[in-house]
């Protein structure tokens, strides 16, 4: 799957230092990787590993201190139109004063398109996340899992080339999380979109990803780029009980343990 000539997304020697009045924090020291067109790559690491910082830099929401992001050959200076982000705090990422339908439709109003096309996209997006009937409801009338689905529908309707997800299922119960993980894989296959998925859950990263990037503790670098050689058809029950799943998981887990202890790979 890594055959594409020009990668969809390139992160080159990304560095991010936070400065405020009292102290300086180097969140990301040196991160470089690339994501091919249509890949599903997971980023996993201990808490405090700057995963969210990394995602925000990729999304154009945060300016890096040095290094750069290249999306489809163009450098990223601000949020690009070909990208959509799904945040962790679903409760706060939806507009409470708008119905579900209007929430999904609003970003589309920024893109030039006819009203019919917009309605079509909204309808398709909502039905693709199994929320066809609730478009008149308000977000706070829905459960947590449904709210996150609305956020996903909003991202899907936007027709992005790259979908960024920042620990989207961390605040959701285990059963809902399993359903949402499967939903992401289905959407990914159907829409042929490139996905960058940040998570702290190792099992989730192995289950979802084709590759898993393991981050170190801050100042963050990539510890390893693990290829997930599990079959393409994955199910919660079968895939997670495979032996290969267990091996990959164990490997990544031990990497994370090393990261927590401050171990870093020898620099080149």
Partner 1 sequence: MKSIVRPLRRVTVMLALPAALIATWWFTSAGSQNFYFPPLQTILDTFAKLWFSSQAIPNVLPSLARLSVGFLAAAFLGIAIGVPVGASRTLRNVLEPVLEFLRAVPPPVLVPVLILFTGIGNEMKALVIVSGCIWPVLLNTVAGVRSLDEVLEEVVRSYRITGFARLWHFVLPGASPQIFTGLRQSLSIGIILMVVSEMFAASDGIGFVLVQYQRTFAIPEMWSGIIVLGIIGIVLSLIFRAVEAWILGWYHGLRQSQRAS
Partner 2 sequence: MSAPATNVRARTSARTIVWLQGLAGLAGFAALLEIVPRSGLVSPYYLPPFSTIVVALFDEIHRPQFWTALGDTLEAWAIGLAISLVAGILVGIAIGSSHVLRTLTQSTIEFLRPIPSVALIPLAVLLFGSRIQSTLVLVVYASFWQVLIQVLYGVQDVDPVARETARSYGLGRWAQIRYVIWPTTLPYLMTGVRLAAAVALILAITSEVAIDTQGLGKEIADTESGGAVAAMYAYVIVAGVIGVIVNLAARALERRALAWHPSIRLDSAEAGA
Position of tokens 């285990």? Answer: 174
Residue with smaller CB distance to partner 2, 20 or 233: 20
Among partner 2, partner 1, none, partner that 23 touches (CB below 5 to 8 angstroms by kind):
partner 2
Instruction: Tell me how far, at minimum, the Cβ of 12 lies from partner 1, in Å.
Output: 21
From the CB of residue 180, how many other CB atoms can be counted at a distance below 10 Å? 18
Which region among 113-121, 137-145, 191-199, 230-238 touches partner 1 (by CB under 8 A)?
137-145
Instruction: Tell me how far, at minimum, the Cβ of 97 lies from partner 1, in Å.
Output: 4
For CA atoms 221, 223, 229, 230, give the dihedral sign: negative
Full DSSP string of 174-203: HHHHHHHHHHHHHHHHHHT-EEEEEES-HH
Position of tokens 């963050």? Answer: 220
Among partner 1, partner 2, none, partner that 110 touches (CB below 5 to 8 angstroms by kind):
partner 1
Full DSSP string of 126-138: HHHTT-GGGTTS-
Binding pattern for the stretch 64-103 against partner 1, x by CB under 8 A and - elsewhere: --------------xx-x-xxx-x-x--xx-xxxx-----
Among the listed residues 110, 114, 175, 261, the single contact to partner 1 using CB under 8 A: 110
Residue 140 binds partner 1, judged by CB under 8 A? yes
Residue 143 binds partner 1, judged by CB under 8 A? no
| Residues 62, 9, 200: CA angle, nearest 5 degrees | 65
Among partner 1, partner 2, none, partner that 19 touches (CB below 5 to 8 angstroms by kind):
partner 2
Determine the Cα–Cα distance for residues 126 and 149; give it in Å rounded to an integer: 8
CB 108 within 8 A of CB 188: no
Residue with smaller CB distance to partner 2, 4 or 17: 17
Residue with smaller CB distance to partner 2, 66 or 241: 66
**Length reported for the chain:** 268
Instruction: Tell me how far, at minimum, the Cβ of 244 lies from partner 1, in Å.
Output: 36
Residue 189 binds partner 1, judged by CB under 8 A? no
Which stretches of the chain bind partner 1, using CB under 8 A? 56, 59-61, 78-79, 81, 83-85, 87, 89, 92-93, 95-98, 106-107, 109-110, 138, 140-141, 158
């Amino acid at each position: 799957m890594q055959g594409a000539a020009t990668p969809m997304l390139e992160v080159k020697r990304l560095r991010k230092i936070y400065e405020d009045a009292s102290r300086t924090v180097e969140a990301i020291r040196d991160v470089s990787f690339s994501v091919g067109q249509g890949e599903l790559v997971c980023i996993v690491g201990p808490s405090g590993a700057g995963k969210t910082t990394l995602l925000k830099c990729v999304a154009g929401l945060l300016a890096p201190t040095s290094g750069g992001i290249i999306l489809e050959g163009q450098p990223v200076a601000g949020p690009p139109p070909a990208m959509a982000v799904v945040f962790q705090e679903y409760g706060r990422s939806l507009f409470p004063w708008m119905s579900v339908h209007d929430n999904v439709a609003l970003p589309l109003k920024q893109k030039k398109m006819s009203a019919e096309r917009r309605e079509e996209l909204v309808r398709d997006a909502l039905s693709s996340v199994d929320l066809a009937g609730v478009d008149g409801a308000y977000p706070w009338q829905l459960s947590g899992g449904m709210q996150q689905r609305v956020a996903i529908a909003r991202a899907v309707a936007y027709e992005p080339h790259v979908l960024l997800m920042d620990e989207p299922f961390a605040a959701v119960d285990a059963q809902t999380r399993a359903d949402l993980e499967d939903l992401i894989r289905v959407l990914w296959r159907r829409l042929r979109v490139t996905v960058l998925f940040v998570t702290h859950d190792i099992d989730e990263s192995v289950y979802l990803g084709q590759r898993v990037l393991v981050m170190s503790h801050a100042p963050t670098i990539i510890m390893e780029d693990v290829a997930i050689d599990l079959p393409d058809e994955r199910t919660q029950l079968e895939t997670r009980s495979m032996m290969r799943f267990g091996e990959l998981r164990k490997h990544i887990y031990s990497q994370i343990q090393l990261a927590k202890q401050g171990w870093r790979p020898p620099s080149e």
